[in-house]
C-alpha cells in the first residue's frame, strides 16, 4: 500500500511519496485511544512532497504530513542553496496535533498503560533553522521560532482547565504564546567495535510580550554502544531540567517506549527534571531473528510537585520506576517486526508490537 510518483513540472521534478502500510499494520494491533466518528479519522499514513527547484535557482521545498489515529504533524520547509562550507538556513512552518497523555493521561492497569485525560495540544510554529558546517565529530543547529500552543478537549473545543479544575496553560488563557531560541549540539564518534554519541539541547523562552513564557530548558542524551562478540550492548542516559515559567505540558514525562518500558506513556511521573537510564543487549538468533534483554529505570528527581497543578501527584504516579524484559526483532524482505515483553515494579506485564520499513 505504498506508492511513489514523480511529476515533471518544467525543468523541475516533484517527488510524491505515500506510504500507508506500516502504520496501518501497527494500528491494527493497538486500539484507538478514542472513538472515531468519520472514515477520515481511521486513515493512518504519511505523505511527502519534494520540489528540488522551486524558483529556478535550486531552492528546495519539502512538505511532509504524518497522520496517526489521534495525532497529526505537517511540516513545510524551504531552503535556499548555499556553499557547503557556509551555514545552511531553513524556513520552517509546522502544525501538530496530539493527545497530551504524558502529563495529563491517567495511568491504568498498574501503570502499564495511560488513558486519555481529555487534553490535546494543537501547536503552530514558524521559525528559522541554521545548521553550522559539521566538523569531524561535532555538529550544531540553532533555531528561533514563534510558537502558539492551544489546548483542546477530545471534541475539539478550547479548554483552560483539566478535569480537577487546575490550569492547563501558563497564561490562564486557552493558549500560550512564546518565542523560543534553541541550540542543539551533537558529538559522535564511531569505530569498528563501538560508538559514542552525546547530544545536548538548550531552549530559551524570550518574553517579547508580558504574558509570553520565559524559561530555560536543558536536555542531554548520552549513548554508548559496544560490540561483544556476536552481541551488541547499548546503554543511554537521558536527563533534563526546566527553570522559569512553564506550563504543565512542558514537563518531562517519564514512562513508555523510548523511556521506561513496562509503564504507560508518562505513567512513572512528570516533573521539572528527569533522569532516565536504558540498557539493552541484542544478540542474533539466526539470520532473520534477533533477541534482546533490556533494563530501564527513570525518576523525576522529586520535581513532580514543582509542576503547576502537580498533575503527577493527583494521578498517583510513583515518581520513579524500573522496567525489564525481553524482545524479538524479525527482519524480513518486506520490513522489520518488533515484539517487546516488559514487567514493571508493580508486577504488571505489557506487550508492545512494532512494524517499520514495509515496502
Sketch the domain layout of the chain as residue ranges.
3-26+40-356
Per-residue confidence (pLDDT) for residue 14, from 0 to 100: 59
pLDDT value at residue 24: 45
Torsion angle of the four alpha carbons 135, 136, 138, 139, in this order, in degrees rounded to the nearest 10: 50
Cα–Cα distance, 186 to 263 (Å, whole number): 29
Q: What share of the chain is helix, strand, coil (3-state, %, to 5)?
A: 10, 55, 35
DSSP per-residue string spanning 213-269: --EEEEEEEEEEEEEETTEEEEEEEEEEEEEES--GGGSEEE-STTS-TTS-TT-SE
For CA atoms 337, 331, 6, 128, give the dihedral sign: positive
**Helix, coil or strand: residue 15:** strand
How far apart CA 84 and CA 93 sit, in angstroms, is 24
Mean pLDDT by 10 residues, the chain (359 residues): 59 55 43 49 74 82 86 94 85 95 86 82 97 84 96 92 92 94 95 95 92 94 96 97 95 93 93 97 93 96 95 94 94 81 84 64
CB atoms within 10 A of CB 152: 19
Which stretches of the chain are DSSP H helices? Answer: 21-29, 101-104, 311-314
CATH topology classification for 3-26+40-356 = Porin (2.40.160)
As a whole number of angstroms, the distance between CA 30 and CA 46 comes to 18
Distance CA 336, CA 257 (A): 17
Nearest to 183 by CA among 239, 243, 134, 143: 143
Q: What is the pLDDT at residue 31?
A: 42
- Give the cell for residue 328: 524479538
Q: What is the pLDDT of residue 148?
A: 97
Query: How much is the pLDDT for 35?
Result: 47
Q: How many CB atoms lie within 10 A of CB 128?
A: 12
> Are 292 and 281 spatial neighbours (Cβ–Cβ below 8 Å)?
yes
> What are the φ/ψ torsions at residue 328 (nearest 5 degrees)?
-130, 140
| Helical (H) or strand (E) element with 121 | strand 120-131
Residues forming a β-bridge with 179: 146, 206
DSSP 53: -
pLDDT at 42: 59
**Can you tell me whether residue 10 is helix, strand or coil?**
coil
Reference 34, options 25, 45, 42; nearest CA is 42
Residue 223 C-alpha cell reads as 549513548
Amino acid at each position: 500500500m505504498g506508492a511513489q510518483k514523480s511529476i515533471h513540472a518544467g525543468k523541475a521534478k516533484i517527488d510524491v511519496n505515500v506510504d500507508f502500510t506500516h502504520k496501518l499494520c501497527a494500528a491494527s494491533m493497538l486500539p484507538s485511544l478514542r472513538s472515531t466518528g468519520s472514515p477520515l479519522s481511521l486513515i493512518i499514513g504519511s505523505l511527502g512532497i519534494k520540489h528540488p527547484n522551486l524558483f529556478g535557482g535550486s531552492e528546495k521545498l519539502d512538505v511532509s504530513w504524518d497522520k496517526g489515529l489521534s495525532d497529526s504533524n505537517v511540516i513545510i520547509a524551504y531552503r535556499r542553496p548555499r556553499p557547503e562550507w557556509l551555514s545552511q538556513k531553513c524556513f520552517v512552518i509546522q502544525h501538530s496535533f496530539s493527545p497530551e497523555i504524558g502529563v495529563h493521561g491517567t495511568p491504568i492497569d498498574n501503570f502499564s498503560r495511560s488513558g486519555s485525560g481529555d487534553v490535546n495540544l494543537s501547536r503552530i510554529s514558524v521559525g528559522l533553522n541554521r545548521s553550522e558546517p559539521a566538523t569531524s565529530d561535532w555538529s550544531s543547529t540553532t533555531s528561533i521560532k514563534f510558537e502558539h500552543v492551544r489546548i483542546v478537549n477530545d471534541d475539539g473545543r478550547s479548554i483552560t482547565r483539566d478535569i480537577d479544575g487546575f490550569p492547563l496553560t501558563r497564561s490562564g488563557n486557552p493558549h500560550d504564546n512564546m518565542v523560543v531560541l534553541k541550540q542543539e549540539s551533537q558529538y559522535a564518534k564511531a569505530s569498528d567495535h563501538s560508538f559514542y554519541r552525546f547530544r545536548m539541547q538548550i531552549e530559551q523562552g524570550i518574553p517579547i510580550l508580558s504574558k509570553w513564557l520565559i524559561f530555560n530548558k536543558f536536555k542531554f542524551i548520552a549513548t554508548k554502544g559496544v560490540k561483544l562478540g556476536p552481541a551488541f550492548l547499548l546503554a543511554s542516559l537521558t536527563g533534563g531540567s526546566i527553570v522559569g515559567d512553564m506550563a504543565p505540558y512542558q514537563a518531562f514525562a517519564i514512562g513508555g517506549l523510548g523511556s521506561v518500558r513496562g509503564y504507560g506513556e508518562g505513567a512513572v511521573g512528570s516533573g521539572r527534571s528527569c533522569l532516565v537510564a536504558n540498557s539493552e543487549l541484542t544478540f542474533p538468533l539466526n539470520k532473520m531473528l534477533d533477541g534482546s534483554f533490556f533494563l530501564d529505570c527513570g525518576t523525576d528527581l522529586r520535581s513532580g510537585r514543582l509542576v503547576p497543578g502537580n498533575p503527577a501527584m493527583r494521578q498517583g504516579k510513583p515518581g520513579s520506576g524500573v522496567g525489564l524484559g525481553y524482545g524479538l526483532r524479525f527482519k524480513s524482505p518486506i520490513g522489520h517486526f518488533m515484539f517487546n515483553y516488559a514487567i514493571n515494579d508493580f508486577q504488571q506485564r505489557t506487550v508492545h508490537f512494532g512494524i517499520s520499513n514495509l515496502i
